[in-house]
Amino acid sequence: MSKALSKRQSDLHVLWRLIRLFKPYWGWMALGILLSLITIIANVGLLALSGWFISIMAIAGVAGITDINYFTPSASIRGLAIARTAGRYIERVVSHEATFRLLAELRQWFYNKLEPLAPAVLQKYQSGDILSRISADISTLENLYIRILSPISVAIIAVFLYALFLGRYDTKLQLTEVSLLLLAGLVIPVIINRLAKKSGERLNQTSSQLRNSAIDSVQGMGELLIYGAAESQIEKTRSLSNSLIKDQQTQAKLTGFSQGFVGLSANLAMWLILLISIPMVNSGTLEPAHLAMLALLALASFEVVLTLPPAFQLLPQTLSAGRRLFDIVDSKPLIREPQYDSPIPENTDIKFDKVSFHYDTGGNSQNSKVLNKLSLTLKEGEKLAITGPSGIGKSTLVQLLCRFWNVDSGTITFGGHPVETYKSDDLRQYFSVLPQHSFLFNNTIKNNLLLANPQATDQQLNEVCEVAQIDDFIASQPDGYDTWVGEAGLQLSGGQARRIALARTLLKNAPVLILDEPGEGLDANTERALLNAVFEYKKENSILLITHKKAGLDLVDSTIRLK
CA 78/CA 65 separation, integer angstroms: 24
Q: How many CA atoms lie within 13 A of 489 on its CB side?
A: 19
Segment among 11-20, 47-56, 127-136, 385-394 with least mean pLDDT:
127-136
Q: Find residue 91's DSSP bridge partners.
A: none
Residue pLDDT, tens place only, 308-344: 998 888 888 888 888 888 888 888 878 888 888 889 9
**If you average pLDDT over residues 421-433, what whole number do you get?**
91
Helix (H, G, I), strand (E, B) or coil at 561: strand
Residue 264: closest CA among 361, 172, 180: 180
The band of 127, judged by pLDDT with boundaries at 50, 70 and 90, is: low
CATH superfamily of 350-561: P-loop containing nucleotide triphosphate hydrolases (3.40.50.300)
CA 509/CA 277 separation, integer angstroms: 85
**Residue 450 to residues 195, 470, 490, Cα–Cα distance (Å):** 53, 16, 19
The answer to whether residue 521 scores a pLDDT higher than 80 is: no
The band of 206, judged by pLDDT with boundaries at 50, 70 and 90, is: confident
pLDDT at position 136: 77
Domain 14-329, CATH among 3.50.50.60, 3.60.150.10, 1.20.1560.10, 1.10.540.10: 1.20.1560.10
pLDDT at position 111: 84
The band of 128, judged by pLDDT with boundaries at 50, 70 and 90, is: low
The answer to whether residue 562 scores a pLDDT higher than 90 is: no
Q: Under a CB-based contact definition with an 8 Å cutoff, are residues 122 and 333 in contact?
A: no
Residue pLDDT, tens place only, 522-542: 777 888 888 899 889 888 899
Spell out the SS3 assignment of 120-164.
CCHHHCCHHHHHHHHHHHHHHCHHHHHHHHHHHHHHHHHHHHHHH
The answer to whether residue 304 scores a pLDDT higher than 50 is: yes
Q: Under a CB-based contact definition with an 8 Å cutoff, are residues 399 and 448 in contact?
A: no
CA 422/CA 412 separation, integer angstroms: 12
Residue 24's φ and ψ, nearest 5 degrees, are -60, -15
The band of 161, judged by pLDDT with boundaries at 50, 70 and 90, is: very high
Q: How far is CA 323 from the centre of its chain?
A: 12
The answer to whether residue 365 scores a pLDDT higher than 70 is: no
pLDDT at position 183: 93
Residue 247: closest CA among 209, 211, 200: 200
The band of 421, judged by pLDDT with boundaries at 50, 70 and 90, is: very high
The answer to whether residue 431 scores a pLDDT higher than 90 is: yes
Average pLDDT over the chain, rounded to whole?
86
The answer to whether residue 1 scores a pLDDT higher than 50 is: no
The band of 2, judged by pLDDT with boundaries at 50, 70 and 90, is: very low
- Give the global pTM: 0.72
CA 511/CA 527 separation, integer angstroms: 23
Can you give the residue ranges of every domain in the chain? 14-329, 350-561
Helices (H), 389-493: 394-401, 424-428, 445-450, 458-467, 471-476
Residue 437's φ and ψ, nearest 5 degrees, are -120, 90
pLDDT at position 5: 44
**If you average pLDDT over residues 164-181, what whole number do you get?**
91
CA 271/CA 266 separation, integer angstroms: 9
CA 277/CA 65 separation, integer angstroms: 25
